[in-house]
Amino acid sequence: MFFKSPPSLVLASTSIYRRQLLKRLNLPFECIAPQVDETRQPGEPALALAVRLARAKAEMVAAQRPEAWIIGSDQVAVLPDGGILGKPGTRTRNIEQLQACSGQVVSFLTAVALLRLGDRAPREFVDTTRVAFRVLGREEIEHYVDAESALDCAAGFKSEGLGIALCDSIDSSDPTALIGLPLIRLSSALRSVGY
C-alpha cells in the first residue's frame, strides 16, 4: 500500500491496442516506446521469444524511468507445426499468414513483465489463447485484409473487429489477452505491488 502517491506506471509500448486496454483499469499511466529489436534468435522457441521480448521492453524503459513500475508485453502466434507468426507488416505477408491459419488451431502467447528497478524479481506471466480458424478461401482472406488493417497484429487479424468472422472458436481465460494485454492477470500483478 502506498502512503504517498503511487509510483508512476509506464506501458513500454507504442501499441494503440495495449494503450486502450490499459485505460480500462482507470489508472494514470504513460507510454514510452521501448526501442527493442524484435528479431527472433536462431532456434528460439515461441514461448521464450514472447517472454524475452516482454522483459526486454520493460527493462529498456525501466532504465529510463527507474522510479516507475513498467509494463512490457509481447505476443506471438504459433501454428500447430510450431511455425511462428508475428506482425505481417505487408498486405502480401498478411494474406500468407492467414492462409497458414486457415483450418488450424493457432495458439497466441501473450507474455507480460511488470518490473521496477531495484525491486525484487519481476512479476511475469504468459497467457495462451487458442483460436480455431475456419477454412478460409483466398478471396475472403483478401476481402478481410482489404477491409481491416491488421498489419501490426500477430497473425494479421483482430478478434475485436471483423477478424472474429474468421474464427470457429476462441478458447481463452481472458478475452483481453488476444487483443494484446491480459488484464485479469495484470490487474492481480498491479494489486500485488500496491495499485
Active-site residue, selected from the candidate residues 37, 74, 127, 146: 74
Contact indicator for 192, 182 with CB cutoff of 8 Å: no
Cell 491459419 sits at which residue? 101
Q: How far apart are CA 168 and CA 166, in angstroms?
A: 7
Q: How far apart are CA 75 and CA 87, in angstroms?
A: 9
37 as an active site residue: the answer is no
Listed in sequence order, the residues at least 6 apart from 3 whose beta carbon sits closer than 8 Å to its beta carbon are none
DSSP label at residue 153: S
Which residues carry out catalysis? 74
